[in-house]
């Protein structure tokens, strides 16, 4: 279904009954990345998944916006006062901003390979990736840009494409190509949380589980350690044999970790 909020139509799905659980997708994906978690957790909880603004089936609009304000508006639309949140990669970035902007709304936090507001990437592998992706998009080559993202986030630098589940690669390829095909909207400005999350991690007092993949790029593993150390009730778990999207690579193990943590 679609919620008309903050000048856009946001796509969302809900299923199940019980304590609310919100799923926020990665920047290379949309709400479909949570298929396994949506079905599993809806057996015991009221699960919400959505496409963030400009992703999947959610629209975009001109003007100033903030993803964390969109999430607050969606929960108001659904009449959900408090929620546990699972955020992957960019979805983790949004989840951290949301809990800092609306601390009374979140009861528990799960972050899978999270990005972090205010963090500046410095490693050669990350800077080379950003440069190559920008060059591909500048020349309108979304196919090459997508393949760069698949190697970076699905494969990880330690694995060749043929070492990764081809079904996962194709699912992410479809979602990433959809993102790159979204129509451009002029005069769009994202409002960043200030001070940024990196400077306020110690203000997060709810139970927080950080999940990292051992095949993920080094800087994202460093971010996961930083968050787990700085939040007041943080715990970090490393999933072996996974890169940046552990919930897709090993859904049964991921679901067990989350279920045990939330209970």
pLDDT in tens, 54-76: 999 999 998 999 999 999 999 99
Report the half-sphere exposure of 59 (CA within 13 A, side-chain side).
Answer: 11
Q: What is the rounded CA–CA span in Å between residue 138 and residue 74?
A: 33
Counted residue by residue, the chain has a size of 263
The domain locations on the chain are 2-119+183-262, 124-180
Global pTM? 0.97
pLDDT at 183 over 90: no
CATH of 2-119+183-262, one of 3.40.50.1820, 3.40.50.150, 3.30.565.10, 2.40.50.140: 3.40.50.1820
Mean pLDDT, the chain, integer: 96
Q: How confident is the model at residue 185 (pLDDT cuts 50, 70, 90)?
A: confident
Closest CA to 216 of 171, 172, 154: 154
Give the pLDDT mean for 203-229: 97
């Amino acid at each position: 279904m679609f919620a008309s909020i903050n000048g856009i139509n946001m796509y969302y799905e809900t299923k199940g009954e019980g304590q609310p659980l919100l799923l926020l997708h990665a920047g290379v994906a949309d709400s479909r990345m949570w298929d396994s978690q949506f079905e599993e957790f809806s057996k015991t909880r009221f699960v919400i998944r959505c496409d963030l603004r400009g992703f999947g089936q959610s629209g975009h609009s001109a003007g100033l916006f903030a993803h964390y304000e969109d999430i607050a508006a969606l929960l108001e639309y659904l009449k959900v006062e408090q929620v546990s949140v699972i955020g992957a990669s960019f979805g983790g970035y949004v989840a951290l901003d949301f809990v800092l902007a609306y601390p009374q709304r979140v009861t528990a936090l799960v972050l899978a390979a999270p990005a972090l507001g205010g963090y500046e990437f410095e490693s050669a592998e990350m800077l080379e990736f950003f440069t190559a992706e920008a060059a591909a998009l500048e020349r309108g080559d979304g196919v090459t840009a997508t393949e760069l993202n698949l190697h970076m986030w699905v494969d990880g630098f330690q694995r060749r494409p043929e070492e990764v589940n081809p079904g996962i690669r194709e699912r992410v390829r479809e979602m990433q190509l959809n993102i790159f095909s979204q129509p451009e909207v002029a005069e769009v400005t994202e409002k960043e949380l200030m001070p940024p999350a990196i400077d306020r991690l110690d203000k997060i007092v709810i139970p927080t589980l950080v999940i990292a993949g051992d095949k993920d790029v080094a800087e994202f593993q460093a971010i996961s350690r930083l968050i787990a150390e700085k939040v007041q009730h943080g715990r970090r778990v490393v999933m072996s044999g996974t890169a940046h999207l552990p919930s897709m690579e090993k859904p049964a193990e991921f679901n067990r970790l989350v279920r045990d943590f939330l209970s």
